[in-house]
A and B are shown apart, each in its own frame.
Chain A
């Protein structure tokens, strides 16, 4: 196992790699060889006068394994926190944004329960040494500084295979790459598709001025179920998202002043929201009382374009000023990428994200092409996935 020293960790950061320490290769297409290579020169660097901090994980890269009845999608990974060869006991470690305190044992060891069913790339790092000891002694300041900067990463992702890469017929400076998001046999990956529609609109006061920080609620007339909008912005605009549904009366409520004022439809009146489309509901609040007059212009609804999409997308981990295009993977996970040749020649890594996005101006389906500017990987999405040739 390769240990990542402090200086190596800095190198990794400098290289912009969300690096992974020791990488046992169950996830065959792991992204970590680059980071291991980056670590190599650091080992011979002259910085290592004093004992160095190591945060080691038995395994840092996991193939996304879909949720299984037997719980096999959760797996325990073991780790160790060391200062030189000495274990660091009672240090507190966090995984990513989780505030769960993981405390190292007397031998510096700790365990993390990894949910392998969700895409992730999260740092594992020391957050507190207040009660930590090395050889029974409190941790000295220099060592503490080292330990606090020791980190590793946990990665969960679908492996990516490339099946073909050839010069574009249209533009010899571009390469067309054909690839595939690989899942375990029998697994179905939910790629980017329509998930729900949008209710939006504008809330105005009786004088026609937009109302800021109003909240629009809708709830079923006959049963549970409700949705709450974003607070209206300075223009009075609000949004919420809902699932398509058949005819059913909906109660409409607008609250202002932190819920202190509530405006409703007249007694006994409900709103029918059209299904399979987004809609704008524009509401003008009454001058007196709290009943919304339920006819235009004080209550008007018009269908509007767009839908909320959600699902898995892939892209290249390249600077944002590099333009490329990629298709939404099809049912089998096949996708095509068109990328400048010089970029592809530098062997960029891939990212995967479960993206949710409102698309207003067109209807998308599997196989459609997206520009790279469309893609927005999240902070905790895996971004250092090395694609492997399909025949490798």
Chain B
């Protein structure tokens, strides 16, 4: 069965969509590639896509993100060129997640280095009436 995937690069990545496209051409598999501003869309047989995705991840493990897509690239039912422009369905989700991709990339890098995640900072508790009384007594007695 055919499969289509988005390969999205984080804003902090040194890998360009054209680098990913070249890498796919180098691999020599029967895969359809479409370059976009955020990465590439790849389309092909499921096994080829799975193997290619593993190769692509190695290019920049913490900065390349991969997502499934329902429609093949350039499909007239989704392609903006055929639908008179405007954002395609699903754009907003990707836009929202792209904003936090650098945070996730840095977190993945820290995770790969084996650094432990910091504990959440507990909110400061207001002193109770008795504690406040003690504090006043200590200060002014």
Instruction: Tell me if chain B binds chain A.
Output: no
